[in-house]
Structure 1
Amino acid sequence: MTVQVRAARSPADFSAVERMQAEMAEWDAAKCAALGCPADAVKGSFYGEDAAKLRSTFDGHGAMMLLAVKDGQVLGHAGFTGFDAKVAEVQKVWLEKAARGAGTGSLLMSELKKAMVAAGYHGACLETASFMHDAIRLYERHGFVRALPFRNAPTGLGPITLFMRARF
């Protein structure tokens, strides 16, 4: 069976996102610590929402969490919320290791863009870390370019924070 992309809607869907976000938090914190940045700053700023909070954030008007699913297994996720009336903010992009390099990330980003356009957005912004090379290449392939900061980076994370924008 091929990978399907669908919106997260159920408590089980958001529990899967919560589990993957916990995995991502550990990976991200370890990378930050290795670069001399505060690991707890990244965890506190970008992670820690439980399934209920994730659902309330991404299951409403102008927001969505997409799941990449194969044979009933959630392989990854990507979401967006409204940054302003015309621009969405891409958030919480993550793929399980087994799903990387097979086009799943590109499929998720393509479907995410379609969903953002359908929600009325004309562009998107995102915040990532400079060490997330594969993610940055993925974003660039989908039209994102490096941009000026659209918010202050969390304390201690400024040197590794990268902002990107895309128009559609």
Structure 2
Amino acid sequence: MEIDWRRLADGTLSYEMPWPALDDERFRRIVSGFGTHYEVEWLSPDGFAFRRGEGYTRLERWDAFGYVDGGTVERLRASTAELDEPADNIVVLPAGYRAIRFTLNMRVIIIFWLVLLVCAKLALFDRSSWLPWAGGFAAIYALHIGLVIRSLKRKLTTWLARSSWN
């Protein structure tokens, strides 16, 4: 899993999850899964955007994915391998998919924790150093990232599970 660490500074979790077998049917299942909780808008055949809508309240009570306000999901194609000297009877098929990229907006919950910690520090511990408070904020941010990724993995497993093998 590759996380774009630079995007975390603005409250956006952007990461790629390796997923080579992501055909159209599986991708539609992911879209419909997001559609049960968010408003979904297709951006291309390989990507869509989502944001809070009517279904947002249908998340489970302690579901960490509730921290996500919106974002985009995109499946990434694998690069095509070039042939040195293709013969007349060789057909190069389009490459499959190598990963799925999630860009998740978590600004609201991060701003909430930042404001809460700054107010608590100024009101209760005015003379203490800012360093432990910054470390506490970084720990809370890392915890939220871990919980959101774990929750999304569980959701993907549920959405992509086959209902029957027939």
* TM-score class, shorter: under 0.3
TM-score (norm 2): 0.23
**When the two structures are superposed, what TM-score results if normalisation uses the length of structure 1?**
0.23
Higher strand share: 1
